[in-house]
Amino acid sequence: MGVFTVRIDVGDPTGQRFERLDALVDTGSTNTVIPEEILRSLGVAPHTRSSFELADGSETELDVGRTWVRLNGQAEFTQVVFGEQSYDPILGAITLEEMGLVVDPIAQRLTPRAKYLK
């Protein structure tokens, strides 16, 4: 899949204050990853800690919380991982699914899709 970024807004847990970021679209990443310092500055608190496998096959434990992510006028209160300083923001599969978006790798864009209850 081609790599591309999208502009997202990450908000505080009340949805009153947002910070704009460019995030890598990565369907191979389960979770959305936001730098820890940004999440903490927005008042996002972790509610758990989880183990994650990185692209190089190594594992790490990181804090996980929930907050608002806004994209193209749509907002979701979604799970976010507190990324270490060296991590770039990533828009992961859970948030994409919650927003009903699929990746068009040729056009390098996100497109809406139907949500199903079957």
Range of the domain at 61: 5-112
pLDDT at 109: 93
Contact 21, 89 (CB under 8 A): yes
pLDDT in tens, 5-30: 999 999 999 999 999 999 999 888 99
pLDDT at 86: 86
Residue pointed to by tokens 């608002």? 68
In a domain, 16, yes or no: yes
Q: Is 93 helix (H, G, I), strand (E, B) or coil?
A: helix
CATH code assigned at 102: 2.40.70.10
pLDDT in tens, 70-111: 998 899 999 999 999 888 999 999 999 999 999 998 899 999
CB environment 96-111: b (16+ within 10 A), e (fewer): bebbebebeeeeeebe
Residue 2 has pLDDT above 80, yes or no: no
pTM for the whole thing? Answer: 0.92
CA distance linking residue 101 with residue 95, whole number of Å: 9
